[in-house]
Every structure is written in C-alpha cells, then in structure tokens.
C-alpha cells in the first residue's frame, strides 16, 4: 500500500512544480519570521524574490549543526513559542544541545510522513506494531507512534529496554511489525536464545530499523536471526525525526519524501552538487515545516542518490544506505576509516558476529594505531591456541587489505564490549589531536 | 577411556583466573588438573574437574566461553625416565601430542598426566597395546 499516492508516485515534472511552489512560499515566510535566517540570507546576497523555482535553491546558504547550537534555543525558529506544541532536545558532547520544535501542522506532517514510512515498509491496515524505540526527548518512539496513529495501526509502545518483557509481549500479542535500532534487534535475538526462545519462530515479520548506521551484512544477520524482512528508515531530529526516507520491500535504496524534504547531495569540501549516483553529503531543505524550517541543512551523512522510478511504483528519489558520517569517519594516517568496512570483514569470516570495537590511539612515537577488539564466541572457540591465533591473523589480514593500514586485532571475552540499548559505541578515539 | 577437559577463553586481565577458580569453588566443583596456554593478549585455561557438565553450564551462565575437549589421563611412573618411556611409545607409533600437563594430586606412586592428542582414538589403542594404564572418568571423579 502507498500512503500518499498522489505525491509519492507523482512524475518528476509534477514533483518539481510542487517543490518550487513550496520553496517560493517558504523563503518569504522564513525571512518574515526569523531574523537570524533573514540576516544569513541577506549576507549571502540573495534577494528572497529571486527564489522562483526549486533550482534556485542553490543560491541559498547552507545551515549546519553548529548553527543549531550557536542559535540555541530559539534563534532558528520561524514560529513563535506559543505556536509550538512539542519540543525535542538532543544532547551533544560539546556545547549547547540541539532543540527542535513542532507546530500543530508540523506534528501532522510528522504523522503523515511516518505513515508513508510504515506503508513503504509493508505495514497493512489492521497490523500491530511494537515500538521499541525510546519514547521521550529522543524522536524515535514518538515519531513511530504518530505515524502508526495516523495509519490506524494497533500500537504497543514498549519503548526501548527490558528485553525479556519485549519478547514476552511479542509472543503474547503477535505484532507483525517491529521498530527499533538494528543493534537492539540483534541483541534481542541473542537474549531470546538465552531465554530458550527460537527467534526464527518469532512473530515480527517486518522490522523498521534506524537511528544508527548499519550495513547490508548486518541486515542479512537480522533477517536470518528473526526470519523477517529488515528495512532501513532514515531521519534526523533537525529535519523531523524518523520519517525522512524509508526502504520499500525491494530494499533498493530509501525513498526520500522529496515533496516535503528536498534532498541535495553535495561534496562536503566544496558545497557543489555531485553527479547522480556519486557519494556526497546529504543536504535537506524542509519545504513545508513551520516551527523550525531549515534551509539546505548539512546532515553530515554520506549517501548517493538516484532519480529513476522504483519497481514499487514510487517516483520519489532513492538515497543509498548511509555510507558513513562526515564526522564519524575517522582519518588514520591519511586513510578514511568507516566502521562499516570492518563490520563487513567480520561477517565475511565464518563464525564471527559483528560485536567489535575500533580503538584508535596515538602512542609516544606519534604514529596512530588501530586496534580492533572482537568478542570470542562459543562456536569458534577452540582449546588450541593455534586455532584462535589463526583466526585472529585472518581477521587482521582481511581488515588490513580493506583499509590499507596495519591494524592490531585483539580477541576479547564475550559481552565485554559495551552494548547499549541504543547506539553501539563502535569507535573509541583516544588520540589527543 | 577418554576423560573430559574443560577449556575456557581468558583475556590476559588481572584476576580472571581467580574469577574462574572462585566461581567453581563456590559451587563445589573440584579442579583436578589445570594449565594455562597464553599468548600476549589472551589465554586458554584447560582443566579437568570432578563435575564437568555442571562446571561448563556454570561458566557459560557467567559469561565465559567454555568448551569440552576429549583428553586422556595417563599414569606415568614417577621415576627418572618414566615420562620419556611413555613419550617414546607415542613417537614410535606416530601419535601426535598437541599438549600435556600434570595433575594436582598424585595417584599412588605414579604421576598422572593429561594428554591432548591429535587423534584420541588412535592414541588410546596405542596406549592399550603397550599396557600403559590410563585413568577412568570414575577414578577422576573419585580422586
Ligand atoms: Zn520502491
């Protein structure tokens, strides 16, 4: 089922006309209501009247995460606070947190795009969804909640954590849809086995996983563990929360709802748009948001984009899975290192599940060192040191081949690498740069 | 007759051996023989205990990776050249020893050694043919 067929299947010319229409209204609205943005646009030497079509968007300045923090709390808001009905705050490691606020119409928009997400993943009217994303200031739980309400699904708002209870609820109420982070889905499969529950016999048939980057190999692992379809959802609180893009059953890119969230993929260094299909930083303009509309917001997520029509019938462009973060990517001895590269190697080696951690350190001799910690598992443990050493050597060589830099691999005892309910800590950078 | 050895993966961290021993001790599992093989970052603890099924269950419940391995406990005369005589039998018959270690207690006037062979069944036949006595599971449990 396609939730909003009139826009999700609109031909590209129609889509462009709609986007132009929205943008033409958005820029004067922002300039009237947000002095900070007005000043930014003026400083870029852009006359708001010159924005006539979606192609003119390139004239406008970018908005960054730093802007969100610098103008905390209300600097980037276009709506007054009495029009704001809900706020979400995410804490950063440095400086001010990031605040977003939703007007009544923004909340309606959120419900609408999340209903599109649910349908796109394969939810049908009458389905039950277990929402194991955190409810609260994190946008995951409530975003799914609003979408499921809009679509009229039966909702089980378990929030994250309390795994044994999650599994009991799955068995008792048989929800067909599960929403949570991909690492939590794997964690629950492990816990299920320990509790004597066979996850391949579980009730969840469709998983909608997001809030952290994950790879194709992790998808295969989740699908095999739970015997389900594992789909990827994309979103970020600055734009709306979850609900920006979603994979359909073909799992061939995430449909981005470009009639409301206009995507551009740019070279993070130059700001220029990269050709279709090439990797770059995803930049999004919220075309219809009122509370805190953002112009050309730099997501820091590395993706590629394609504009051809999908087999499912949707014409909305598709972004790739997140291939990395412009800021999570670590540079070691001049080489870009993404956690996904290491995860890929580990899954490729028989018997290893991706519970790993990358530790980067700089010793006295000033040379960066990469250590990969891998948890030993029952099924590849041997009483003979030789077998374990061979395994470690194989992992080391393959990672070295992929990264082209030397790494040290250390086998560690199970469950010694921290596994939080939400995002897993995959990189520890101990360097003081 | 084969006996069962338990092997446990250990990181080279302070107190991990103690953690295993105290866990087993607290649950009345007696360690009969023990050795650790180490690399610079991890080690494998190998033990023969009186209640191996219970011990492995316990260790796994406490987050350790632990497995069973078949080994043979051989009686070796506790005299000069006693071990050499046994090893010569293995060498003459192409029996490969992966590793070996001694028991904590003494069994009469003979020393007890745990042998992990490449092929346990072949090793047992050779031992029987040369009348080298081995210790049964029941004897281990009753030690
Ligand atoms: Zn599609």
Q: Where are the domains of chain A?
A: 1-325, 329-429
Q: Do A388 and B42 touch (CB under 8 A)?
A: yes
Q: What's the confidence (pLDDT) of residue A423?
A: 45
Which segment, A282-286, B95-99, B120-124, B139-143, is predicted with the most confidence on average?
A282-286
Q: Residue A328 in contact with residue A266, Cβ under 8 Å?
A: no
Q: How many CB pairs under 8 A join A and B?
A: 55
Distance CA A339, CA A347 (A): 13
Cα Dmax for chain A? 75
Candidates A196, A372, A383, A418: best to mutate against B (most CBs of B within 10 A) is: A383
pTM exceeds cut of 0.90: no
Q: Do A378 and B65 touch (CB under 8 A)?
A: yes
CATH code that applies to domain B71-142: 3.30.70.260
Is A82 an interface residue toward B (CB < 8 Å)? no
Q: Residue A146 has what DSSP assignment?
A: H
Tens-digit pLDDT profile for residues A182-191: 989 999 999 9
Shortest distance between the Cα of B60 and any Cα of chain A, in A, equals: 9
Domain layout of chain B by residue ranges: 3-69, 71-142
Q: Do A385 and B46 touch (CB under 8 A)?
A: no
Q: Do B5 and A378 touch (CB under 8 A)?
A: no
Q: What's the confidence (pLDDT) of residue A4?
A: 96
Q: What's the confidence (pLDDT) of residue B106?
A: 64
Q: What does the radius of gyration of chain B's CA atoms come to, in whole angstroms?
A: 16
Nearest residue in chain A measured CA to CA from B66:
A378
Cβ contacts (< 8 Å) between A412 and chain B: which residues? 11, 42
Q: Residue A310 has what DSSP assignment?
A: P
Please report the residues numbered 402 through 431 in chain A whose beta carbons come closer than 8 angstroms to any beta carbon of chain B.
410-416
CATH architecture of A1-325: 3-Layer(aba) Sandwich (3.40)
Instruction: Please list the ranges in chain A whose pLDDT falls under 50.
Output: 421-423
Shortest distance between the Cα of B10 and any Cα of chain A, in A, equals: 7
Reported in sequence order, the residue ranges of A142-278 that DSSP labels E, i.e. its strands, are 154-156, 177-180, 206-209, 229-236, 241-247, 254-256, 261-266
Q: Do B41 and A410 touch (CB under 8 A)?
A: yes
Nearest to A422 by CA among A132, A146, A208: A132
Would you state the structure tokens that stand for residue A267, as one six-digit string?
A: 């070279």
Cβ contacts (< 8 Å) between A409 and chain B: which residues? none
Q: Residue A214 in contact with residue A182, Cβ under 8 Å?
A: yes
Q: Residue B37 in contact with residue B46, Cβ under 8 Å?
A: yes
Q: Do B116 and A383 touch (CB under 8 A)?
A: yes
Q: Do B44 and A388 touch (CB under 8 A)?
A: yes
Q: What's the confidence (pLDDT) of residue B61?
A: 92
Is A390 an interface residue toward B (CB < 8 Å)? no
Q: Do B65 and A413 touch (CB under 8 A)?
A: yes
Q: Do B67 and A413 touch (CB under 8 A)?
A: no
Cβ contacts (< 8 Å) between B43 and chain A: which residues? 385
Residue among B9, B60, B69 whose CB faces A376 most closely: B9
Which residues have C-beta under 5 Å from ligand 1, the single-atom ion?
A 248, 310, 312, 314
Distance CA A335, CA A40 (A): 35
Shortest distance between the Cα of A127 and any Cα of chain B, in A, equals: 37
* ipTM reported for the complex, 2 dp: 0.84
Strand A128-131, strand A177-180: pairing: parallel
Identify the residue whose tokens are 């959802």.
Answer: A233
Q: Do A385 and B44 touch (CB under 8 A)?
A: yes
Residue B140 confidence (pLDDT) above 80: no
Residue A40's SS3 state is helix
Identify the residue whose tokens are 């030690």.
Answer: B143
Q: Count the Cβ atoms, other than its own, within 10 Å of residue A188.
A: 25
Q: What's the confidence (pLDDT) of residue B48?
A: 93
Shortest distance between the Cα of A73 and any Cα of chain B, in A, equals: 45
Q: Residue A388 in contact with residue A376, Cβ under 8 Å?
A: yes
Residue among A384, A385, A414 whose CB faces B65 most closely: A414
Question: B3-69 sits in which CATH class?
Answer: alpha beta
Cβ contacts (< 8 Å) between A381 and chain B: which residues? 7, 9, 65-67
Tens-digit pLDDT profile for residues B13-44: 888 999 999 999 999 999 989 999 988 889 99
CATH code that applies to domain A329-429: 3.30.300.30
Instruction: Determine the distance separating the centroid of ligand 1 and the alpha carbon of A310, expressed in angstroms.
Output: 5
């Amino acid at each position: 089922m396609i939730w909003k067929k009139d826009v999700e299947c609109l031909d590209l010319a129609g889509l462009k006309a709609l986007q132009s229409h929205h943008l033409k209204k958005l820029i004067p609205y922002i300039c009237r209501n947000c002095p900070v943005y007005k000043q930014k646009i003026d400083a870029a030497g852009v006359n708001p009247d010159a924005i006539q079509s979606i192609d003119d968007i390139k004239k406008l300045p970018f908005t960054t995460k730093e802007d969100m923090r610098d103008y905390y709390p209300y600097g980037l808001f276009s709506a007054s606070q009495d029009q704001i009905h809900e706020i979400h705050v995410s804490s950063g490691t440095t400086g001010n947190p990031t605040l977003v606020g939703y007007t009544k119409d923004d909340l309606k928009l959120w419900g609408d795009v999340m209903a599109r997400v649910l349908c796109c993943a394969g939810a049908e009217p009458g389905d039950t969804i277990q929402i194991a994303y955190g409810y609260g200031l994190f946008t995951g739980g409530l975003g799914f909640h609003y979408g499921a309400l809009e679509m009229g699904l039966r909702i089980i708002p378990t929030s994250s954590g309390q795994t044994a209870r999650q599994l009991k609820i799955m068995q008792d109420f048989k929800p067909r849809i599960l929403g949570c982070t991909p690492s939590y889905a794997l964690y629950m499969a492990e816990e299920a086995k320990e509790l004597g529950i066979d996850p391949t016999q579980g009730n969840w048939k469709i998983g909608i996983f997001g809030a952290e980057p994950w790879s194709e190999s992790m998808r295969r692992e989740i699908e095999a563990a739970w015997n389900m379809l594992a789909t990827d959802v994309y979103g970020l609180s600055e734009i709306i929360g979850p609900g920006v893009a979603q994979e359909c059953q073909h799992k061939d890119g995430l449909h981005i709802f470009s009639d409301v969230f206009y995507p551009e993929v740019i070279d993070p260094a130059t700001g220029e748009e990269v050709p279709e299909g090439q990797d770059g930083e995803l930049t999004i303009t919220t075309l219809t948001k009122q509370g805190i509309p953002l112009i050309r917001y730099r997501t820091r997520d590395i993706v590629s984009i394609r504009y051809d029509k999908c087999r499912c019938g949707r014409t909305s462009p598709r972004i790739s899975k997140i291939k990395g973060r412009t800021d999570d990517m670590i540079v070691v001895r001049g080489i870009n290192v993404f956690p996904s590269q290491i995860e890929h190697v580990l899954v490729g080696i028989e018997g290893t599940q991706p519970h790993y951690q990358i530790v980067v350190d700089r010793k006295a001799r000033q040379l960066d060192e990469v250590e990969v910690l891998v948890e030993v598992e029952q099924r590849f443990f041997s009483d003979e040191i030789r077998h374990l050493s061979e395994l470690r050597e194989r992992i080391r060589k393959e990672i070295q081949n992929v990264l082209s830099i030397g790494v040290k691999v250390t086998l560690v005892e199970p469950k010694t690498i921290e596994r939080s309910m939400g995002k897993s800590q995959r990189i520890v950078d101990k360097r003081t740069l | 007759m084969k006996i069962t050895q338990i092997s446990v993966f250990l990181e080279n961290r302070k107190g991990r051996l103690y953690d295993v021993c105290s866990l087993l001790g607290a649950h009345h599992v007696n360690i009969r023989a023990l050795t650790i093989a180490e690399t610079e970052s991890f080690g494998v603890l190998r033990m023969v205990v009186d209640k191996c099924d219970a011990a492995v269950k316990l260790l796994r419940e406490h987050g350790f990776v632990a497995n069973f391995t078949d080994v043979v406990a051989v009686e070796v005369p506790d005299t000069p050249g006693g071990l050499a005589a046994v090893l010569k039998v293995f060498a003459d018959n192409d029996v490969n020893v992966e590793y070996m270690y001694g028991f904590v207690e003494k069994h009469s006037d003979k020393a007890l050694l745990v042998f992990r062979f490449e092929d346990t069944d072949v090793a047992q036949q050779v031992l029987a043919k040369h009348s080298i006595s081995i210790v049964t599971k029941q004897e281990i449990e009753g030690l």
